[in-house]
Structure 1
Amino acid sequence: MSQLSEPSSSDARRRIAAAWRRHPFARFLTRRVGTALLLALGVTLVTFVLTNLVPGDPAAANLGQRAIGDPAIVAQFRHHNGLDRPLPEQYGAYLANLVHGDLGVSQQSHQPVLDDLRAAVPATLELAGSAIVLSLVIGVAFGVLAALKRDRIVDQALRVLSLLGVSVPTFWLALLAFYVFFYRLGIAPGSGRLAPDLTAPPTVTGLYTVDAALAGQWPVFWSAVSHLMLPTLVLTAYTVGLLTRFTRSAVLEVLGQDYVRAARAKGLPARTVLVKYVLRAALVPIITVVGLAFGALLSGTVLVESIFAWPGLGAYAYRSATTLDLPAVMGVGLVVGIIYLLVNLVVDVLYGVIDPRVRVQ
């Protein structure tokens, strides 16, 4: 009996695998993942080339004035960092090290770049993730409300608010928030991720709020939340304005479609028409904007992180660029590129889940 059951179970697994490969969504997902892998290889090449095209001498940026005048020390520095080899050979060594998870050693911190990124990326993820979730909730709600109240006072007010959010420079808003809420009113913590008298929770995810909650360290959790609020609100202001405007346009476009009028003519409840007909059709452009905004938040928080002394990816990228720390610069470029690829992959998959026409095409 066992000999008969084994072939039948293997045949069943083969039939399931064959059926999955024939499924339109499986083919759609396979194409997107394959494209993402090819683009990831392209990201490594672009990052390497652009980093090496940056004007300036890494030896002059990292060595002192006395050391830079000694040709032997300069030659030793270039040999140690592989800068004396041809660029194709440097790129090949970079790829070989990358396969083994080696991004090189930072010329400033003298630590592996991967270790530096492990500390910086979670800080930015926590900040950008909080901002995009809050922006998504507020921006979509405001956009839907503005579309349903088209050309009324509510719509005009929300459009003005969204225009202000998009127009006000983020760095200026960060300085204003820091001055008002920390310096003048003293109701918000000033900088960093935790109060000075608290220690970081045991590292699980690198997100202080999550790690503190998992460890049951509630004073640390509330301190992390309080330090997170002000920079999150600053980043949310721009993204809410962007999402409000795009959501309003997307919902207005769907409201004018014939199938929405038909659903209303059938006597369906307004809530059912809004949720099942309008919002689902409007989600595709909204998801596109959310994906782009999230990628921009992850890679563009340099000024906000600098103002609030937030030890994230933006601050690390700024220090690396100003000191021509090439391994660190390439590491940051690679991480940012991979983040955008992952965000675009998730957006493409959500397209296929929401709209069957996408995965069939």
Structure 2
Amino acid sequence: MASFIIRRLIALIPVMCIVLVIVFSLVRIIPGDPAVTLLGPGATQEQIDVLRAQLDLDQPVVLQFVNYVVGLFQGDMGFSLKSGEPVAREILSRLPATIELSVLATIVAIIFGIPIGVLSAVRPNSVFDHITRIVSLVGVSMPAFLLALILQLIFATYLGWLPVSGRMSSFVTVETITGFAILDGIITGNPAAVWSAIQHLILPTAVLAAFLAATLGRFVRNTMLDVMGEDFMRTAKAKGLRRADIVLTHGLRNSLLPAMTIIGLKFAEMLGGAILTETIFAWPGVGRYMFEAIKNRDYPVIQGTTLVFALLFVLTSIIVDTLYGVLDPRVRKKMK
């Protein structure tokens, strides 16, 4: 197992190098000049040239790439062209918000998606099965931004039950310790902050969880149907085991292993793909930070956030593969 993890970590190096080269090249192909964007349309050519020199944008692209790679090895992702702050520091300050949202959305999706998939597989072609299949299809097909706007309109605008955006009410303050709003509220003994953080999490969590729950429910249903037809399931029935034991112990257990791949990969996508959700709900996470950087052509921020997203995605896949080996002896044997 240890040798497998080491091999995967070594394989991570060329992957990250390829991502670095692609991202560094693409952000410079995007039309427009960041110096012009920062100074505005009224800037003179002399002002633009001075700013380009200050930002090292007047140097050859190859030299810019070499300087950037050297800085990465020193833990330096550069400085934001917009705010002037270190990119690494700004990403670290926003990462807890993205992780908090993604983890909660994944938990909610698991709580709803897996039971729905199991119940649909146990009663195939029933009314419940048809309804859940339709709902799952809608959940998979509906764009995240459309669902977000619908939920905001209903629960925030019309009903007024939940806040429309943000991470915490402007009337509530909490001391930042871990960066996770709920956890910080619990640690500091601030129930108002905890409740405000939970309220602001509900709508963006629902948007992110909807797609994963629908995908997970459909996947578990199909996998369970395949497992239910296996010989060992018929043997369990012949032994007179209770239906609940057959479904949960034998059926669900064998269906959860492949479902782990879906959960792991979708969680990684949430960490890097929640850009629209974070932007619509004004959630102060890395996704929204990246969106603002793209609008402002902020090279260092675009490069830094993309590298962080790619690293999180690869690390998540390694963790999922390792869990496969821990839970399945057959896979663990192949890892040696």
Q: How would you bin the TM-score normalised by the shorter chain?
A: over 0.9
Q: Which amino acid aligns with 2:25?
A: V
2:199 is aligned with 1:189: no
2:37 is aligned with 1:61: yes
Q: Could you say which residue in structure 2 is the equivalent of 1:50?
A: 26
2:98 is aligned with 1:133: no
Q: Could you say which residue in structure 1 is the equivalent of 2:143?
A: 169
> Which is further off, 50-59 or 338-347?
50-59
2:188 is aligned with 1:224: no
What is the percentage of aligned positions where both structures have the same residue?
37
Pairing of 1:170-319 with structure 2 (within 5 A):
170-204=144-178, 206-319=179-292
Aligned residues: 334
Aligned partners of 1:272 and 1:44: how far apart in 2? 50
SS in 2 for 1:108: coil
Root mean square deviation, CA, Å? 1.8
**Contact 1:213 / 1:221 at 8 angstroms: preserved in 2?**
yes
- Please report the TM-score for the alignment, with normalisation by the length of structure 1: 0.87
How much has 1:138 moved relative to structure 2? 0.6
* Deviation string, structure 1 residues 249-305 (Cα, Å, up to 9, x no partner): 111111111122222222333333333322232123211111221122222222222
**Contact 2:136 / 2:215 at 8 angstroms: preserved in 1?**
yes
Pairing of 1:107-118 with structure 2 (within 5 A):
107-118=81-92
How much has 1:149 moved relative to structure 2? 0.8
| Bigger-Rg structure (1/2) | 1
How much has 1:216 moved relative to structure 2? 1.6
Distance change >3 Å, CA 201–CA 270, structure 1 → 2 = farther
SS in 1 for 2:43: helix
Q: Which amino acid aligns with 2:322?
A: V
Distance change >3 Å, CA 49–CA 356, structure 1 → 2 = farther
Aligned partners of 1:300 and 1:68: how far apart in 2? 38
**Contact 2:167 / 2:197 at 8 angstroms: preserved in 1?**
yes
**Contact 2:34 / 2:297 at 8 angstroms: preserved in 1?**
yes
Pairing of 1:301-340 with structure 2 (within 5 A):
301-340=274-313
Distance change >3 Å, CA 152–CA 306, structure 1 → 2 = same
Aligned partners of 2:29 and 2:331: how far apart in 1? 39
Q: Could you say which residue in structure 2 is the equivalent of 1:106?
A: 80
**Contact 1:147 / 1:249 at 8 angstroms: preserved in 2?**
yes
**Contact 1:201 / 1:208 at 8 angstroms: preserved in 2?**
no
Aligned partners of 1:144 and 1:68: how far apart in 2? 65
How much has 1:68 moved relative to structure 2? 4.2
Q: Could you say which residue in structure 1 is the equivalent of 2:65?
A: 91
Match of 2:322 among 349, 356, 359: 349
SS in 2 for 1:231: helix
Aligned partners of 2:150 and 2:220: how far apart in 1? 28
- Please report the TM-score for the alignment, with normalisation by the length of structure 2: 0.93
How much has 1:75 moved relative to structure 2? 3.2
Gaps of 5+ in 2: none
**Contact 2:174 / 2:190 at 8 angstroms: preserved in 1?**
no
